Amino acid sequence: MFKITSTEGTAQTQFAWLWRPMGDRKLEISWGTGLSSYHGKLKKVAPDQFEGTLKYSCDTWFCGSAPKGKFRIQKIACE
């Protein structure tokens, strides 16, 4: 499990980011603020690209329905 830290934010907006490789073709990712979070698994679709569906979860009763969303990440060159 690897922790990713946000580059900006206050105490109220700081997110906990986590990701974990699952073999060489899948990646598990999650982030949240403590009471609510997004999590899911991404599959490798290209040499430097993963995509999948993330689900929303909440620890309180007033969150309503659980939305889902498509998510894509890709490797970029850092300069």
Q: Classify strands 36-46 and 49-58 as parallel, antiparallel or unpaired.
A: antiparallel
Three-class DSSP category at 78: coil
4-24, pLDDT tens digit by residue? Answer: 555 555 555 556 778 888 888
Domain ranges of the chain: 2-74
* Alpha helical stretches, state H, 10-70: none
pTM above 0.75, yes or no: no
Tokens encoding 17: 């980011």
Q: Are 28 and 43 spatial neighbours (Cβ–Cβ below 8 Å)?
A: no
Rounded to an integer, the average pLDDT of 32-52 is: 85
CB atoms near residue 27 (< 10 Å): 19
Confidence class of residue 62 from pLDDT cuts 50, 70 and 90?
low
